[in-house]
Amino acid sequence: MSNPQQLRYSKEHEWLSVAEDGVATVGITEFAANALGDVVYAQLPEVGSTVTAGETCGELESTKSVSDLYAPVTGEVTEVNEDVVGDPSLVNSAPFEGGWLFKVRVAEEPKDLLSADEYAAFSAG
Amino acid sequence: MTSSPLRRTALDAVHRALGATMTDFAGWDMPLRYGSERDEHLAVRTRAGLFDLSHMGEITVTGPQAAALLDHALVGDIGAVKTGRARYTMICREDGGILDDLIVYRLHETDYMIVANASNAQVVLDALVERSAGFDAEVRDDRDAYALLAVQGPESPAIVKSLTDADLDGLKYYAGLPGTVAGVPALIARTGYTGEDGFELFVAPADAEQLWQALTEAGSAAGLVPCGLSCRDTLRLEAGMPLYGHELSTELTPFDAGLGRVVKFGKEADFVGRAALAEAAARAEQNPPRVLVGLVAEGRRVPRAGYAVVADGQVIGEVTSGAPSPTLGRPIAMAYVDAAHAAPGTPGVGVDIRGSHEPYEVVALPFYRRQK
C-alpha cells in the first residue's frame, strides 16, 4: 500500500490535504481502513461545528469494531462527504479519494503531522 | 493471560500467501479475513466459501463403554446416535452451567469424535477424563491429529462431489462418513456453522494444504472464495446460532439459553448436572428469567456484546453478539432480555449505543433461514 506523497498524516491514521484557500480535506489512511475492515457506518462531525486537533470528532464502525475519528487539525467543519454517509464502503475502496470524510477550515495545525514517508515508517510499527 | 506464542494451523503458509489479516483466536493465529468480510459472507450465502477451522478441538472417545461414558458426561442421548450420524449437544457442570457446546460424531459403534470450541477444548478434555473414571473407555486428545477445512454454501455439494466418490447425496445434514477427497483420506461431515448447506472435512494436518488447493481449484468456477473467522461470526449470527462466551457460559444452563431441547432427561443414564438441570427446566417453564431474542436495528449504529438493552429508560437486557448483517443490510444482535420484553414486536425496545438509545425491533430467531 502506498501513501500519497502530497498528503500529510496524523498518528491517529488520518490524512489531510490543505488547499490554497486554507480548507483541508480529511480522511483515514488505507492502513487504517484495512485495519478496520469493512466500514458500515460513519458518524461525521456536523457542518459548522468546530473540531480540535487530537480530539474525537466522530466514529467509524466496521463489522468487528467501532473506532473514534480524531480531528488532525483545529478548525470549523465546512463540508462532510455525504457519499460516505450513504455508502461507508467508500472508505475501504478509495480511502484517499472518494472516501474522504470531511473538510475543515484550518485555524490551527499541530506541529507533529507526518510526511508520507514518516507515516509509512510509523504505521509499519 | 500468559503470553505463549500463538499456535499456527497446517494452512498457515497458505493464509499468508493469500494476504490474510490474521487474528489471535483462543491462542491460535487464525485468518480473520482475506479481503472484504462482507464479500466473503455473501459468497457463502450465494456461492461457496472455504474455511480453515483447524483450531477446533477434536477429542476421541473409544472403547466398549464409550457410549455409556458420554451418556454420563454429556446432556444428550449419545447412545441413541446412529453410527455415521452426528449430534449437537452440551457438556455441563454439576450445577447445570454450560462448559461447552459440542458436536459428537459416532464414527463406529464404540468410537466417537467430539468437536469442542478451541477456547474450551482443554476444559472439555479434562472434564471427560475425570468423568471417565470407572468406564471401560479411553478419552484421547486428538487436537493435533486433525486439520479441519469447511466448504459452506449452496455450491458446496457440487464442489466437494467433483473431488470424491463418496455418496454425498446419501449424506444427510448432521451425518459423517469416512472417505477420500482429492486423494486425501477424510472424515466427510455434513455440518457447519453458517446456516448454509456445507461440509466439514477432517483430515491429517499433512494433507491439509493439498486438500485446500484442490478445493480452491474445484470451486473457482463456481465462485468459491477463502473465508475468515469474521464472516463465520456474522454467518452464524444471522443463522441464530449461539457462540460460547457470548450466548453460552458457565453462568447459564441450556434452558436459560433457550436450548433446553438438548438436555435429554429421558435417557437411562444418570448424567452430570441432571438434578440442577431439572430445576432449571422447571424455572424456565414457570418463571423464565431472561430470554434470548433477536434485535434488528432501525438505524445503522451497530450493537456490540455487552451493550445494555433498554426500554423506557430502564435496562431490560444485554446484547451478547452484534454485527452489521450483510444479508439484512442492517445491524442485528442477539440479546438476553427480560421475559416481559421478549415477544417479537414488543414496542419501545432500544440498545444503549455508547450513551444514545437507538431503536431496535425485537424479532424471533433466526434472522436468516436458507431456502431448501
Q: What is the CATH number of the domain that holds B361?
A: 2.40.30.110
- Which residues of chain B form beta strands (DSSP E)? 7-8, 21-25, 28-33, 49-52, 57-62, 86-92, 98-108, 111-116, 138-141, 147-152, 176-181, 184-189, 198-203, 225-226, 290-297, 308-311, 314-324, 331-338, 349-353, 356-363
Does B85 contact A at CB distance below 8 Å?
Answer: no
Distance of CA B327 to the CA centre of its chain: 19
Q: How confident is the model at residue A61 (pLDDT cuts 50, 70, 90)?
A: very high
| A86, closest residue in chain B (CA to CA) | B300
Mean pLDDT of B308-336: 96
Confirm whether B22 is domain-assigned.
Answer: yes
**B261 lies in the same domain as B178:** no
Q: For residue B365, which of B316, B339, B332 has the smallest C-alpha distance?
A: B332
Residues B316 and B372 in one domain: yes
Rounded to whole angstroms, the Cα distance separating B337 from B303 reads 14
What are the residues of chain A with a beta carbon less than 8 Å away from any beta carbon of chain B? 34, 37-38, 40-41, 43, 61, 63-64, 66, 89, 92
Nearest-CA distance A106 → chain B (Å): 29
Q: What is the mean pLDDT of residues B99-109?
A: 98
User: If you ran DSSP here, which 8-state letter would residue A97 be given?
Assistant: T
pLDDT tier at A1, thresholds 50, 70, 90 = low
What is the pairing mode between strands B28-33 and B7-8? parallel
Examine the domain organization and report whether B156 and B33 are in the same domain.
yes
Contacts of A43 in chain B (CB under 8 A): 301
Which pTM was predicted? 0.93
Minimum CA–CA partner of B321 in chain A: A64
pLDDT tens-digit series, residues B167-196? 999 999 999 999 999 999 999 999 999 999
Residues of A in contact with B37 (CB under 8 A): 37-38, 63-64
CB of B356 less than 8 A from some CB of A:
no
Assess B37–A contact: CB distance below 8 Å, yes or no: yes
Q: What is the CATH number of the domain that holds A44?
A: 2.40.50.100
Please check whether residue A114 lies inside any domain of the structure.
Answer: no
Both B234 and B151 in one domain: the answer is yes
- Is the pLDDT at B225 greater than 70? The verdict is yes
State the residue range of the domain holding B365: 288-372
Write down the pLDDT at residue B3. 63
Q: Domain check: are B60 and B117 in the same one?
A: yes
Task: Check pLDDT > 70 for residue B321.
Answer: yes
> Is residue B45 domain-shared with residue B189, that is, in the same domain?
yes
Average pLDDT, chain A: 94
Nearest by CB to B33, from A37, A40, A89: name it.
A37
Residue among B37, B230, B301 whose CB faces A41 most closely: B301
What CATH number corresponds to the domain at position B17?
A: 3.30.1360.120
Mean pLDDT for all residues in chain B? 96
What was the pLDDT predicted at B288? 81
* CATH number, residue B77: 3.30.70.1400
The residue with cell 447445570 is B96
pLDDT of B1 over the 60 cut: no
**Please, which residues have CB within 8 angstroms of residue B17's CB and are 6 or more apart in sequence?**
none
Whether the per-residue pLDDT at A83 is higher than 80: the answer is yes
| Domain count of the fold of chain A | 1
Would you say residue B136 lies in a domain? no
Question: Is the residue at B359 inside a domain?
Answer: yes
Q: Report yes or no: B21 at the A interface, CB cutoff 8 Å.
A: yes
As a whole number of Å, the end-to-end CA separation of chain B is 44
**For strand B314-324 and strand B331-338, is the pairing parallel, antiparallel, or unpaired?**
antiparallel
Q: Chain B partners of A41 at a C-beta cutoff of 8 Å?
A: 300-302, 324
Minimal C-alpha gap between A88 and chain B (Å):
11
| A104: in domain | yes
Whether residues B44 and B152 share a domain: the answer is: yes
pLDDT category, B2, cuts 50, 70, 90?
low
Domain that holds residue A60: 8-108
Helix axes B66-73, B121-131, angle to 10 degrees: 110
Tell me how many degrees the CA angle A100-A106-A110 measures, rounded to the nearest 5: 95
- Is residue B201 domain-shared with residue B304, that is, in the same domain? no
The yes-or-no verdict on residue B354 having pLDDT over 60 is yes
Contact flag B230-A89 (C-beta cutoff 8 Å): no
CA gap B99, B178 in Å, rounded: 29
Looking at the fold, whether B81 and B154 belong to one and the same domain comes out as: no
Q: Per-residue pLDDT tens for B252-302?
A: 999 999 999 999 999 999 999 999 999 999 998 888 879 999 999 998 899
B270 and B292 assigned to the same domain: no
Flag whether A3 is in a domain. Answer: no
Asked whether the beta carbons of residue A40 and residue B302 sit closer than 8 angstroms, the reply is yes
| Whether residue B116 sits in one domain with residue B34 | no
Strand order in the sheet with B57-62: B86-92, B98-108, B111-116, B57-62, B138-141
Indicate the pLDDT class of residue B235, thresholds 50, 70 and 90: very high
Domain count along chain B = 3
